[in-house]
Chain A
Amino acid sequence: MSGPRWLVPLALLGALLVAAPLVGLMARASWGELWTLITAPESLEALALSLRTAVASTLLVIVLGVPLGFALRAVHGRVRAGLRAVLLAPLVLPPVVGGLALLYAFGRRGLIGAPLEDAGISVAYTTAAVVLAQTFVAMPFMVVSIESALAAHGERREAIAATLGASRTRILARITLPALGPALATGAVLAFARALGEFGATLTFAGSLAGVTRTAPLEIYLARETDPDAAVALSLVLLVVAVAVVAIAYRPAATRGLR
């Protein structure tokens, strides 16, 4: 399936539009100093924080996002459409809007944040706030991944297991979850990548302090001011991770298509 020939120039233009900025970034890098720049204390501290928080939010996304995917399959019709629209909104929401929304929910004067503050629990400006922001933006990847896998999976084997007297939890653990493996992996990898790249919501909601809330994207944003070379070097690290993640995450999808 290669389509009519006039698609080719448009495809080339499209490829140029996507690839040119990436090449531009690489062209700007001072390759000789790259290692020194990446291993500078500020860069390492930011990368380590990014890694820690992205892992934590990916775990949260698995624990909360998988049940949400199931919940989405359990409801039908308009309820499902409405619920899906709400759950996937962070995917397309401008990050700064997400940050403001988080602020008014979990901020010091927020809907949930204010009572928590009174109880002596403060989320603002902590690493937990970063994880919260990352989980918020990364969750949709897992929800949508699980939901579509469940739709494709069908319920035949579950029904048989039920007639054989297996409990729901047993069916979930022994039949459904193993079948969802690839979808879960794809969802987790994409969620991890999204968490790693989170910027706007973190900046708005969690703040920016070295070692506590200043993740790699925030460090890049700040380094731009005084040390563009360091900003480019860190950007390259995130670029490599992004390309690697997509390469990993879309492999199962490709083999599914071939079958």
Chain B
Amino acid sequence: MRGLASAASAALAAACALSLAACAPETDAAAGDRTLTVLAAASLADVLEPIAADFENEHPGVDVVTSYAGSSDLAAQILEGAPADVFASADEANMDKVADLVAGTPAVFATNTLTIVVPEGDPMGIEDLASFAAPGIVSVICAPQVPCGAATATVAARAGVTLSPASEEASVTDVLGKVASGQADAGIVYVTDVARAEGVEAVPIEGAEAVVNRYPAAAMAGAAEPELAAAFVDHLSAQAARKALSDAGFGTP
């Protein structure tokens, strides 16, 4: 019985410690700090940080917490009830999935186009999409099920080229990784991906500018901070954010 009593008190102590830790952030919130949770597409990871910092400066006491993942993963998380104030998607299809949970109309704040990516120095002499068909060239692209793959298929169809990739990846990051590590001679990714990767360079695709990926952002209906969320969405289309986005290679609408 002594064993039982001491185990129970140990469990109680553990529970107290846990609840104290859980309480801590709420105590902070009561003191005036407000948190804005932004779920954003993985391709926005680098560029969104200074934009969020800017927003924090303009709104003292506000803490912007960003979480990056593939847009479809984020859309799934939102549908399953993940807390979010703002959703910034890499394509309109995934924003449409959560349309019922959005407050107001999503605003397109950035665009992206595709490019060929090759290892630095272009050792295999890739010049255009037609080079993908040359013998001995190992190419990787995104699977047609994901946004970058859908765009890739459109670009290839417009150019009249049949791609025969060695692999169809589920994310643009995996395509980039395989080219950067030399596992593939060429790949097709977004312009902004090449800009933030090392050991690779871009080879422009003729006509790629006609296939534009649009990035919509929206405040969520269930936002803990609805006004702040709306302000953040506006902030994404403001002058400073547009500059940061275009410096990172994004187009702005």
Do B174 and A203 touch across chains, with their CB atoms under 8 A apart? yes
Given that A108-B182, A207-B166 are known contacts, is A125 also in contact with B143, CB under 8 Å in the complex?
no
CA gap between A203 and B169 in the complex, in Å:
8
Do B169 and A208 touch across chains, with their CB atoms under 8 A apart? yes
Q: Which A residues, 204 to 218, have Cβ-Cβ distances below 8 Å to chain B?
A: 204, 206-210, 213-214, 218
4 smallest beta-carbon distances between A and B, as pairs: A207-B167, A125-B166, A109-B182, A226-B145
Do B182 and A107 touch across chains, with their CB atoms under 8 A apart? yes
Given that A209-B165, A224-B72, A228-B76 are known contacts, is A6 also in contact with B7, CB under 8 Å in the complex?
yes
Q: Which residue of A lies closest to B8 (CB)?
A: A6
CA gap between A5 and B8 in the complex, in Å:
12
With A109-B183, A228-B76 given, name 20 new contacts (CB 8 A).
Answer: A4-B3, A5-B4, A6-B7, A108-B182, A109-B181, A125-B138, A125-B166, A125-B167, A203-B174, A204-B177, A207-B140, A208-B167, A209-B165, A209-B166, A209-B167, A223-B145, A224-B72, A225-B146, A225-B170, A226-B145
| B interface with A by C-beta (< 8 Å) | 3-4, 7-8, 70, 72, 76, 138, 140, 143, 145-146, 165-170, 174, 177-178, 181-183
Q: Give every chain A residue within 8 A of B165 (Cβ-Cβ).
A: 209
Q: Give every chain B residue within 8 A of A125 (Cβ-Cβ).
A: 138, 166-167
CA gap between A134 and B101 in the complex, in Å:
41
Do A4 and B4 touch across chains, with their CB atoms under 8 A apart? yes
Do B143 and A222 touch across chains, with their CB atoms under 8 A apart? yes
Do B3 and A209 touch across chains, with their CB atoms under 8 A apart? no
Given that A6-B8, A225-B146 are known contacts, is A207 also in contact with B169, CB under 8 Å in the complex?
yes
Q: How far is the CB of B171 from chain A (nearest CB, A)?
A: 10
Q: Which residue of B lies closest to A124 (CB)?
A: B183
Q: How far is the CB of B253 from chain A (nearest CB, A)?
A: 25
Do B170 and A221 touch across chains, with their CB atoms under 8 A apart? yes
Q: How far is the CB of B222 from chain A (nearest CB, A)?
A: 21
Q: Give every chain A residue within 8 A of B181 (Cβ-Cβ).
A: 103, 107, 109
Q: Give every chain B residue within 8 A of A223 (Cβ-Cβ).
A: 145
Given that A203-B174, A208-B168, A225-B72 are known contacts, is A6 also in contact with B138, CB under 8 Å in the complex?
no
Main secondary structure of the interface of A (DSSP, over half): loop
Q: How far is the CB of A198 from chain B (nearest CB, A)?
A: 16
* Residue contacts A-B, CB under 8 angstroms, 30 given: A5-B4, A6-B3, A6-B4, A103-B181, A103-B183, A107-B181, A107-B182, A108-B138, A109-B182, A124-B138, A124-B166, A124-B183, A125-B138, A203-B170, A204-B177, A207-B140, A207-B166, A207-B169, A207-B183, A208-B168, A209-B168, A214-B168, A218-B170, A221-B170, A222-B170, A224-B72, A224-B76, A225-B170, A226-B145, A228-B76
What does the 1/0 interface line of A68-94 toward B look like (CB < 8 Å)?
Answer: 000000000000000000000000000
Q: Which residue of A lies closest to B144 (CB)?
A: A226
Q: Give every chain A residue within 8 A of B168 (Cβ-Cβ).
A: 207-210, 214
Q: Which residue of A lies closest to B185 (CB)?
A: A108
Q: Which residue of A lies closest to B119 (CB)?
A: A109
Q: Give every chain A residue within 8 A of B138 (Cβ-Cβ).
A: 108, 124-125
Q: How far is the CB of A180 from chain B (nearest CB, A)?
A: 39
Q: Give every chain B residue within 8 A of A226 (Cβ-Cβ).
A: 145
Q: Give every chain B residue within 8 A of A108 (Cβ-Cβ).
A: 138, 182-183
Q: How far is the CB of B233 from chain A (nearest CB, A)?
A: 25
Do B145 and A225 touch across chains, with their CB atoms under 8 A apart? yes
Q: Give every chain A residue within 8 A of B4 (Cβ-Cβ).
A: 4-6
CA gap between A5 and B138 in the complex, in Å:
62
Q: How far is the CB of A215 from chain B (nearest CB, A)?
A: 13
Q: Which residue of B lies closest to A42 (CB)?
A: B145
Q: How far is the CB of B1 from chain A (nearest CB, A)?
A: 10
Q: Which residue of B lies closest to A214 (CB)?
A: B168
What does the 1/0 interface line of A134-153 toward B look like (CB < 8 Å)?
Answer: 00000000000000000000
Q: Which residue of A lies closest to B146 (CB)?
A: A225
Q: Which A residues, 166 to 225, have Cβ-Cβ distances below 8 Å to chain B?
A: 203-204, 206-210, 213-214, 218, 221-225
CA gap between A223 and B72 in the complex, in Å:
11
Do B167 and A107 touch across chains, with their CB atoms under 8 A apart? no
Q: Give every chain A residue within 8 A of B167 (Cβ-Cβ).
A: 125, 206-209, 213
CA gap between A52 and B96 in the complex, in Å:
39
Q: Give every chain B residue within 8 A of A124 (Cβ-Cβ).
A: 138, 166, 183
Q: Which A residues, 22 to 53, have Cβ-Cβ distances below 8 Å to chain B?
A: none
CA gap between A208 and B174 in the complex, in Å:
10
Q: Give every chain B residue within 8 A of A228 (Cβ-Cβ).
A: 76
CA gap between A203 and B178 in the complex, in Å:
11
Do B170 and A107 touch across chains, with their CB atoms under 8 A apart? no
